[in-house]
Structure 1
Amino acid sequence: MSTAQPDEDADRVTPDALLHTRTGTEVTPEDVVLAAGRDVTPESLEWARRKIAAEGAAALDKLLP
């Protein structure tokens, strides 16, 4: 158990290399649309399909912290 005080932890920043959002499953167009904050519509799903085709799974990683 850590003995760090809450104030000490507040000054730390999690390194980007430790921030992962995917669970190892396939990225779906719906995932990308929702991560972008868009409504799920035929147009936004097509946008997401093109984004996934161009960027692969990184399309989702780029939208999330």
Structure 2
Amino acid sequence: MNKIRAASAETAPPVWRTGAEQPWDPEDLAVAQGKDPTPENIARARAELERDGAAAIERTVP
């Protein structure tokens, strides 16, 4: 009989999922940071996403 062995927690690498795995709009980042999606906050979030990429999201939504 063939037995399929499931990987145990000791042998399988952990699978981490972060908020940065999905696409984020500047509006989404501004709201996630607790700010209203005003043109100024959206512009700031856009600049933050362009400058820092996924790190901008990781700081807000780890």
TM-score if structure 2 supplies the norm length? 0.63
Give unmatched runs, 5+ long, in structure 2: 1-14
Give a deviation string over 1:21-65, Cα, whole Å, max 9, x none.
24x332210111011100000000000011001101221111123
Give unmatched runs, 5+ long, in structure 1: 1-16
TM-score if structure 1 supplies the norm length? 0.60
Q: Give RMSD over aligned pairs.
A: 1.9
Counterpart of 1:11? none
Larger Rg: 2
